[in-house]
Amino acid sequence: MGFIRVGALVGSLMLLVATLVALVDHRSDPYSEQDMRVQTAAAMASNSVQDTVLRARAVLTVSTANTSPEELLATFGATVEACVGPRCSGPDLAALSTFGSAASKSLPTVAVVDSASNSVLVLAQTPALTSSIQLPLNAVIDAFALQHILELDVDVNVKPSDSEAPPEVASIANEPGQRVAVAQISEPLDGGSLLVITSVESIAGSGADTSGPYVIVLGLGTILVALAGRMFLAERRNLERRATTDELTGLANRREFERQSEEAIEMAGRFGTGLCIMLIDLNGFKQINDTRGHQFGDSVLAECADRLVGALRDTDLVARWGGDEFVVILPGLVEANAVRDSAERIAAAMSSAPMAGDVLVSGSIGAALFPRHGSDFVALMQAADVAMYEAKTTGVTHRLASTVEAESSLPADRRKSAGG
């Protein structure tokens, strides 16, 4: 998708340059003013369509089973439809002719053209949830872009195409009584493509001084560059999110947890506020994977992540450490009683009801306090790992680390993982 944004920015800059050239030479071509209007409108409409589909993908990516269809639609302000699992804002989108083929693609999000309903269908799939948004083709150009297209006095139409050709610069056609620009869009779609068609009534110019419309086009070209810049920023935020987030659970990943923990430890040392690190290991998870399958196991991990978030304070951070292990940092905890209360609240949230199907899952929790059990992240994680291992082997739900050397209490394989 990064190529789309590069193409949008380059195309917008090319439009500005082309407009400047046309402003100097427009008297020699009676159609130049009309051509510039339809090309500008086509470029603006194409960028808007791509941005709308990308926004639909992004909205679905962060949806959960608790998200309502109406919440998905709030960002569009148009007559779109959405479904979250079996709940739909209108018709069941699973009935669309393209739903089955879209769902069969092994992608986190899929966007396909549904010619039968003149719409774009966007799906997000996880083992536990399928969400979808239907974007009618008359709603894929946002209000901001549509307003400026109308100010150019240009008609615009978006329709499905039988071709899946790559995006191309809008070409000009001279149809009876009209000047028409046609642009092909196949990205960020995963199936089918769209035609963006813009047109004006064909009336040859007189060659008089008509610089005014070109100034307008230059201004609109500047807007296109701004829109392309916004797309770049959105892509950068998406890349940052992917670099710091565990894809399955939506929690912080191991690298991001290490970074934030080291910052929290530095702050706790500076202000003497203390903190606690907990390591949580799911009991019997390997057996669940072996007997129920990895997809069922993924559902257990995702549900466990949601329960951990619900059991913690807004100031706490929970992350997936790897496999069936989760880690938590709780700033401000300095007393054993507070650690016990937090651990018991987490354990209760995890085992209060089946995680998936009829499967109840408990966890073994090891906790370490800064600076009592370690002065840096590695030492605290090692102490928490020892405590977690002791809790698991003794059958208790949680254990606070002791001040005894941690590493000597661990088997060799646990010593290796505790060291990072």
Task: Report the alpha-carbon distance of residue 142 to residue 257 in Å, rounded.
Answer: 38
Same domain, residue pair 97 and 141: yes
- Which residue, of 201, 236, 271, is where some domain finishes? 236
Could you list the residue range(s) of the whole structural domain that residue 335 is in?
254-418
Q: Does the residue 37 lie in any domain?
A: yes
Same domain, residue pair 225 and 258: no
Q: What is the pLDDT of residue 404?
A: 43
Same domain, residue pair 226 and 258: no
Q: What is the pLDDT of residue 235?
A: 56
- For the record, the structure tokens of 24 come out as 């100097």
Same domain, residue pair 260 and 232: no
Q: What is the pLDDT of residue 40?
A: 86
Q: What is the pLDDT of residue 143?
A: 84
Q: Are 215 and 282 in contact (CB under 8 A)?
A: no
Same domain, residue pair 186 and 317: no
Checking 335-338 for CB contacts under 8 A at 24+ apart, the result is 336/369, 336/400, 338/276
Same domain, residue pair 231 and 263: no
Same domain, residue pair 61 and 174: yes
Number of domains in the chain: 2
- For the record, the structure tokens of 194 come out as 């769209």
Task: Report the alpha-carbon distance of residue 80 to residue 73 in Å, rounded.
Answer: 7
Q: What is the pLDDT of residue 88?
A: 92
- Which residue, of 168, 202, 236, is where some domain finishes? 236
CATH classification of the domain holding 304: 3.30.70.270
Task: Give this prediction's pTM.
Answer: 0.47
- For the record, the structure tokens of 157 come out as 């139409």
Q: Does the residue 242 lie in any domain?
A: no
Sheet containing 171-175: give its strands across. Answer: 155-161, 193-201, 178-185, 171-175
- For the record, the structure tokens of 18 come out as 């082309």
Q: At what angle do helices 211-244 and 2-25 cross, to 10 degrees?
A: 170
Same domain, residue pair 268 and 312: yes
- Which residue, of 236, 266, 287, is where some domain finishes? 236
Task: Report the alpha-carbon distance of residue 77 to residue 58 in Å, rounded.
Answer: 16
Q: Does the residue 243 lie in any domain?
A: no
Blockwise average pLDDT, block size 10, the chain, 420 residues: 56 62 54 80 88 86 83 77 90 89 83 91 86 90 87 90 57 72 84 88 54 60 61 56 84 93 93 94 94 93 95 93 95 92 95 91 96 95 96 95 54 48
Q: What is the pLDDT of residue 205?
A: 44
Same domain, residue pair 289 and 404: yes
Same domain, residue pair 187 and 258: no
Q: What is the pLDDT of residue 2?
A: 52
Same domain, residue pair 299 and 343: yes
- Please state whether beta strands 81-84 and 317-322 pair in parallel, antiparallel, or not at all (unpaired): unpaired
Q: Does the residue 248 lie in any domain?
A: no
Q: What is the 3-class SS of 173-208, one letter each residue?
A: EEECCEEEEEEEECCCCCECEEEEEEEEECCCCCCC
Largest CA distance in the chain: 92
Q: Does the residue 13 lie in any domain?
A: yes
Q: Does the residue 68 lie in any domain?
A: yes
Q: At what angle do helices 285-292 and 294-311 cross, to 10 degrees?
A: 140
Same domain, residue pair 272 and 224: no
Q: At what angle do helices 32-61 and 143-151 cross, to 10 degrees?
A: 170
Q: Please, what sign has the CA dihedral across residues 114, 118, 119, 120?
A: positive
Q: What is the pLDDT of residue 170?
A: 54
Q: Does the residue 177 lie in any domain?
A: yes
Q: Does the residue 220 lie in any domain?
A: yes
Residues in contact with 360: Cβ distance below 8 Å, sequence separation at least 6, in sequence order: 351, 353, 354
Q: Please, what sign has the CA dihedral across residues 66, 71, 72, 75?
A: negative
Angle at CA of residue 292, ends 291 and 294, nearest 5°: 110
Task: Report the alpha-carbon distance of residue 6 to residue 316 in Å, rounded.
Answer: 38
